[in-house]
Homo-oligomer: A and B are copies of this chain.
């Protein structure tokens, strides 16, 4: 049970829709595992093509997972018709991203009308059992009114 009350009764559908419009998430193989008001868990399997020089997952990819977990967690608490953008985040890298599977878990610390602050933690799973905390994030997300009539995916013209 989440301690937050969503403003948008359709928060789940809208959050999933936004997530699925992010082609980067599909490219990186990141998917939603759990989604509650103000709380989101994502997961990603190890992929050799996302590694740095030691064969661990690149810090930027771990950050992409954490940022998205924070963004979707914040988004679940925003009113209907909101759009969301990331203002800033800090990532602390605690251990090598070595494992078969990775979890990105985010929780809203302070929801706000304009700004929402979230915290995220990334874990590595070895043999489907052991979990090691590999990174933390603290970030700020911003709610923007969505343009009238524009579905999220058409809100902005993409470069040709």
Contacts and interface: CB of A to CB of B under 8 A. Distances in A.
Interface residues of A, number: 64
A8 interface: no
A27 B50 contact: yes
Nearest to A22: B52
Contacts of A65: 60
B60 A64 contact: yes
Given A49-B27, A94-B110, A156 B60 contact: no
A33 interface: no
Interface of A: 18, 21-28, 46, 48-61, 63-68, 85-96, 98-100, 109-110, 114-115, 117, 119, 126, 133, 136, 138, 140, 142, 152-153, 155-159
A139 to B, nearest CB: 9
